Each structure stands twice: as structure tokens, then as C-alpha cells.
Structure 1
């Protein structure tokens, strides 16, 4: 049995459902309500498929490439930490990802699904939290269910985005994103230290 709360917090930090709202609103402001729902659903299905792929095949790919998981855990922790710093000190998730927008036909996949929802941090978390030597198949399934739960919450928030953004405002979304960045930085540090401990114990 996994510890659900830490896993939930980890995925909530790296997926950042709140930070996705301003991105979604900005990218879909010219679309009708029905089109926005379709874009939200497509983004949800795309990001879920990508992250489930990393849960299923991520560790296998590392094994084939002969990359030890502790090394990946250390590098992943460093990348997550740097990602967290951009959330805390940078311009924030909405600003940099809105600028990535190309055309309305692409927005469900890019930038909403990737990199806003299925971020590099989320992909790393999907691999690290389902390590075969540490977690049983049932525990990995539980982790996948928690992740899908966070993704489903993201879908609901995207569907309700216009109402939410009026309530908390872009400033509120930015504050929440920075708080989650601080939590993610702590998780990334713990992850790096755990990887170093395992690496030198081998």
C-alpha cells in the first residue's frame, strides 16, 4: 500500500492543475464553450496517455539504455528542482507557455497537454514513483490511479476555468503556482538525496 497523500502532493505539484487554468483560458478565449470542453477533454486524454506510457515503459527504456535508476533519480531531482525554481522565481507557468501557442488546432496537444499538464517534471515523477524494485504491481497501479485522479481534477478545472479565473484572478493562480513550486523544490531535494543514498549503497 502506497502513502497516498505524499504521492498526491507530488503529482499535484508537478502537474500543477491550478497553473494550467490561465494557460487554458488564454489559449481558448476565442472558442465557444462546446469547443473549449472538447479541447479540455483532448488535452486530458493526451496527457494521461503520455504519463501512463512513462509509468509502463519509462523504466524499461532506461534499462535498455543502461541508465541506472539511482542516476536517473538524482538527475530527475535536479531537473525537478530547477523546474521548481522557475515556478517560484520565474514569470510563472502561464506566461511562458502561452507564448508557445502556435495555432488553435494545436492547442489541445501543445501547449495545454504538453508541456502544461504532462510536464517534464510529471514524466520524471511517473517513472520514479513506480520503480519496479521498490513498488509492487499493485502499488504501481495505485500510483497510476492517484495520477489519473489529479489529471481528472485538471480536466474539471479546465472545464470550469472561466469561473475559477474570475474568482482567484491571474494573480491568485500565480501565487498558488509559486507555493506549489516551493513544495516541489522540497520534494525534488528529498528525491535527489534518496538517489544519492541508493547510488552509493550499490
Structure 2
């Protein structure tokens, strides 16, 4: 997988279009002049978490004695569940109830942007990527920059697309993630079962 492929995968998993509604809901009681500052702070915290898991994910795996295939299959299952929630959201949205007030780390940095699926995918990429390590960092930074650009313009995009447009984008993202998750599961099951493709 090249840098662009890595960036697209991480971008889809962080689901910035799906997170627009979450960001707007959490920040609706915050003073308008503070909103952009809070969004940027939360995005930087999310980047820090993503970089932490990319850098030390391998050490975490070895400390827990987990195989590459186990992490990849778990990542595929998490992706599948998140994708189903994007396509068929419940009455409380993808992430459930969110607390009011000014957020710090939770729920915007995590689980909205750097959620379990993003962290699992990053750890999976770290253990399966055949190219140089800098490609993973470059792909992560590209995906984060694109997500940050979208989420920093959340109010504008909500007015531009409207609730139905954002819902359609979120469901399309969910469909793409389902295809990616099934592909991850099939690849790793073939590896575990020693089946030739």
C-alpha cells in the first residue's frame, strides 16, 4: 500500500464527514469565538494519540503477545461494526450520548477522531506495511490534515450539504469501510488458514 492508499484508509476510518454533526453538537454551547480554538486543540490531541499508537503500537502488541493476524482480524471486525453504525445510525448517533460543556480529549479527540477503529487500523498498518516506516507517518499526517481541514469547517459544511447531504456522505463512507473490512478479514483468514489466493 502506498502513501496515498494509507492516507485514504486512515481518512475513511477517522470519518470526518460523520464527525461534523458530533463536533457541532458538542460545541453548540461553547462561545463562538472559542470553537475554532477548541477544534484545533482536539485535533492536535487526536494526532498525538494516532502518532503514539503508530510509534509504540508494535511494542504494545509484543507486550500483549498478540499476533499480526489477530490484530488485523480484530481491526477488520471493528471497522465492520463502525461501518454498520455509519450506514444504520442509531437514535443517539454513531458514538452514543455525548456529555455537554467544553470538551477536553473526550469525546472529540477520542473516540470521534482517534477512535478504536483508527487506532486498530494504525497498529495493523504498522505490523503489515512492507515499505519504509516514513510512508506510514506521511500517510497518517496527510489523512489527519484532510480531516482537520474538514472538521475545522464543520459549520460551513453543514450549511453547504445540509443534514441529508452529510448523512449520504456518511453512509457512502460506511459502505467503503465495509468493503475494506471484509478485504482485511479475507486476507488475514487466508494467511491463518494457509489458503492460497
Fold-level match, TM-score > 0.5? yes
Q: For 2:105, what is the secondary structure of its paired residue?
A: helix
Please report how far the alpha carbon of residue 160 of structure 1 lies from its aligned counterpart in structure 2 after TM superposition: 1.6
Structure with higher helix content? 1
Is 1:111 aligned with 2:107?
Answer: yes
Is the contact between residue 100 and residue 111 of structure 1 (CA under 8 Å) also seen in structure 2? no
Number of the residue aligned with 1:42 = 41
Deviates more, 1:181-190 or 1:64-73: 64-73
Deviates more, 1:120-129 or 1:23-32: 23-32
Superposed CA deviations along residues 102-146 of structure 1, whole A, max 9, x for unmatched, are 2323x2422111111112111111111121x6434xx33222222
Number of the residue aligned with 1:66 = 65
Is 1:90 aligned with 2:108?
Answer: no
Number of the residue aligned with 1:140 = 133
* CA-atom RMSD in angstroms: 2.1
In structure 1, what is the Cα distance between the partners aligned to 2:138 and 2:56?
Answer: 17
Number of the residue aligned with 2:119 = 123
Aligned residues: 195
In structure 2, what is the Cα distance between the partners aligned to 1:113 and 1:173?
Answer: 20
The TM-score, its normalising length taken from structure 1, stands at 0.87
Is the contact between residue 26 and residue 99 of structure 2 (CA under 8 Å) also seen in structure 1? no
Please report how far the alpha carbon of residue 26 of structure 1 lies from its aligned counterpart in structure 2 after TM superposition: 1.4
In structure 1, what is the Cα distance between the partners aligned to 2:97 and 2:106?
Answer: 8
The TM-score, its normalising length taken from structure 2, stands at 0.89
Is the contact between residue 86 and residue 94 of structure 2 (CA under 8 Å) also seen in structure 1? no
In structure 2, what is the Cα distance between the partners aligned to 1:104 and 1:112?
Answer: 12
In structure 1, what is the Cα distance between the partners aligned to 2:94 and 2:14?
Answer: 16
Is 1:171 aligned with 2:164?
Answer: yes
Please report how far the alpha carbon of residue 156 of structure 1 lies from its aligned counterpart in structure 2 after TM superposition: 2.1
Is the contact between residue 17 and residue 169 of structure 2 (CA under 8 Å) also seen in structure 1? yes
Question: Residues 10 and 134 from structure 1, CA distance in 2 versus in 1: closer, same or farther, beyond 3 angstroms?
Answer: closer
Please report how far the alpha carbon of residue 31 of structure 1 lies from its aligned counterpart in structure 2 after TM superposition: 2.4
Number of the residue aligned with 1:182 = 175
In structure 1, what is the Cα distance between the partners aligned to 2:151 and 2:129?
Answer: 34
